[in-house]
Structure 1
């Protein structure tokens, strides 16, 4: 009999009056069913979060830190179980799923540490005569309840990046997981329920997408943290102009291979990293390599190596330890990628490898001579497809990288420290990675983009700042 998973309403298990299925992207098998909260239950969760907000904000740091430490420890203990669940609902290869659990372990550990060391600041105000005898204490306080809306591509770690900072600052959170991948978030709920966090401080509600507008509009949820498509993200932001909205949206990440990155070892490393991180989540990562911009002096040698490395990517059953690339999240996603590649080819692009679909799986693909008017040239493919671009100089490489509506991260393969700092100054992105693909993310560093890649930053401490505001206490008549 198939298990129907309950959701978490104000810290306790609950069932609604309907359910939906979660199926394995690889073979379509039924992974489980998930109960859907009723409108009344959603209202109960929101009311509980709003009611809990003042007391949760006043919770001692050691209580919040202990809960976060517990989650980190329990995730580590259950790594293999949760990784298998991620693979089953998401389709990503098991080795990448294990890595995702490991990252979530770190996110909760970092949040526990930050909860303990967030002390605010003090300042003397007698720097001007009118401030004689005055001293200020500046501390941060939660803006209110957080509505966290998570995507399918990292169903545990991107949930962690919303839940952990909220708990760390004492902000109640209502988490809405992606409909395709709610199971990892529900397991996180199991672990949160083992802690002593106050009732109402968290809920995990698998609310259908069509019922989200009312939740987004609810004035009791002043903070919205959304990760997903730019279309949906900006619709949310435009609909609630008085709320604090953080958007982590799409990308069209470029890997720049410059003229000085020319030795055999250099090109081997670049090709390996490019091939790996164009395909590592089936390309379903906002910072997966989509564009390779190579100096003409290294282009031909690099292109040959990239094609060979992409062809060497092992595809198949994502539960197999040897598999590098699994299916996309569903067959419709694969069909969309197929249509975009066909559009590019019809307009003149050349397929160097790949270009085929089988069910929800799309073969790792390399394109050359990509026309500027193709969809792939401007949009986020979110699939295992990369394109190669030849340029004549570093200036041209930077200009080509910036020729995008998105600006999340870029990777620059260069040995020149001056060029590295120039890239940091000139590339219109939220992060520049030198000597590697753009797909590197350390979970404690600020992460986010510019242009259509969103607003605000994740990264534990930076999200904590996003969820809080400064409040000043001025002491008068102090003998300094």
Structure 2
């Protein structure tokens, strides 16, 4: 299978190609175009040229296009899931869940296209405003550059394309090099759905070449990026005054209070820590359990994790497959060994099988160990004890990140205190921080990001507000 660049509504050959290999077994999956700066320039030019037509497209037509995309994915959902599974080594059942979420994300975008948040302004609320009628409208910013990661190659693309199309922007999409097939699949669905030519352009290649090009080009008005803090901060420094949304890293934590029924939440904890091999921005990485329940948390999680099945991502029974690269396996194993050397106890796992790191539970991990203070992006979680509630809150906050945090407690006063005091973009009471539905506001503080996703909120990030004021004649 040889893919082509999608530029200006046409499928175009690239000057250079590279093989796409399976993360699980190294099997060749496809030949993928490696776009040059010249080809990236063509994509930007196509989006810039199409922006006026897209701006004029009525809201009901944008909504219909997005609904059609959701319907087309629905009709081809098994093909979509298998694409995700093979290119991202995501277990098939998990890939199917991502496809279902992608369908819902485009449906949300279709709905939001019909209700952009325009508003009337009461000008006479201020002295001197008498005799005026005014309103504020949301207008598309123009060309949006979207850069997406490997871990949710279809739904995170949807979180860029959905709000961009809903609000009348055009897009240049650069998907992750390891997961381009899902992005090209989505481009095919938009083409079938009737999106104007040039409104969506998909180019694959090196971030240092085409990523920098689409972020710095003056014809681009919006940058929306999901990835590592190091890359995101670098892009923001290069982007100038462009509107920007950054969804970056995390080392998400949960607090488990005394008196909590640990066995009733063990499934949720294991899901949060090990779903898709921990390669989730809000993967549960740190557990702070009251000393009275700490040992029970570890034992309950071990029991649940022991039943997980490892295998090929297309195996219907597989819960766990390989990490995205051998280098990531090496790094995760080095961090586990570092934690051990610093005094942590390996309660489960701590081993690898090929490119698969076995689900790992650590206990009593020092704060300065990489598996605690950095983003693991692998199937590793640690359980540390606490004696005082404020101590637990302070431990969660003692981090460079702040995307989402979870709290399990039967004490409503503690729950409200946590909601006020935890430094995170989202606080989930009696749930894991790994929970997300696709219409909620989603984003972080500190090094976890800038701006918010969730279709309604992403539209605000991709539009400019314009005030229109009429002065009545005397």
- TM-score bracket for this pair, using the shorter chain length: over 0.9
Residues 285 and 128 of structure 1, relative CA distance in 2, 3 Å threshold = closer
1:192-211 superposed matches below 5 A: 192-211=190-209
Query: Which of 380, 383, 407 is the equivalent residue of 1:385?
Result: 380
Shift of 1:208: 1.6
- In the TM superposition, structure 1's runs of 4+ consecutive aligned residues that sit over 4 Å from their partners are none
1:200-349 superposed matches below 5 A: 200-211=198-209, 212-261=211-260, 266-349=261-344
- Alignment of 1:150 with 2:148, yes or no, is yes
Residues 365-406 of structure 1, C-alpha deviations (whole Å, 9 max, x = no match): 011121223211210000000001100021111111111111
Shift of 1:475: 1.4
Shift of 1:36: 2.5
Residues 428-476 of structure 1, C-alpha deviations (whole Å, 9 max, x = no match): 0011111121100010001000011010001001000000121011112
* Secondary structure at the counterpart of residue 277 of structure 2: coil
Equivalents in 1 of 2:7, 2:352: separation in Å? 40
Paired residue for 2:42? 44
Unmatched 5+ stretches in structure 2? none
More moved, 313-322 vs 399-408: 313-322
Shift of 1:417: 2.6
Query: Which of 159, 169, 172 is the equivalent residue of 1:171?
Result: 169
Residues 158-196 of structure 1, C-alpha deviations (whole Å, 9 max, x = no match): 011001100000011100000011000000010011122
Equivalents in 1 of 2:187, 2:239: separation in Å? 28
Scaled by the length of structure 1, what TM-score is found? Answer: 0.96
Query: Which of 127, 130, 144 is the equivalent residue of 2:128?
Result: 130
* Secondary structure at the counterpart of residue 325 of structure 1: coil
CA contact (8 A) 1:252 1:380 kept: yes
Paired residue for 1:12? 10
CA contact (8 A) 2:252 2:403 kept: yes
Equivalents in 2 of 1:270, 1:21: separation in Å? 43
Equivalents in 1 of 2:425, 2:177: separation in Å? 28
Residues 108-161 of structure 1, C-alpha deviations (whole Å, 9 max, x = no match): 000000001115011232234522221111101122211000000000000110
CA contact (8 A) 2:215 2:223 kept: yes
Tell me the C-alpha RMSD between the 2 structures. 1.4
- Alignment of 1:402 with 2:417, yes or no, is no
Shift of 1:47: 1.0
* Secondary structure at the counterpart of residue 194 of structure 1: helix
* Secondary structure at the counterpart of residue 278 of structure 2: coil
CA contact (8 A) 2:285 2:372 kept: no
More moved, 190-199 vs 33-42: 33-42
* Secondary structure at the counterpart of residue 139 of structure 2: strand
CA contact (8 A) 2:40 2:213 kept: no
Scaled by the length of structure 2, what TM-score is found? Answer: 0.97
CA contact (8 A) 1:176 1:206 kept: yes
Residues 218 and 370 of structure 1, relative CA distance in 2, 3 Å threshold = same
Shift of 1:301: 1.4
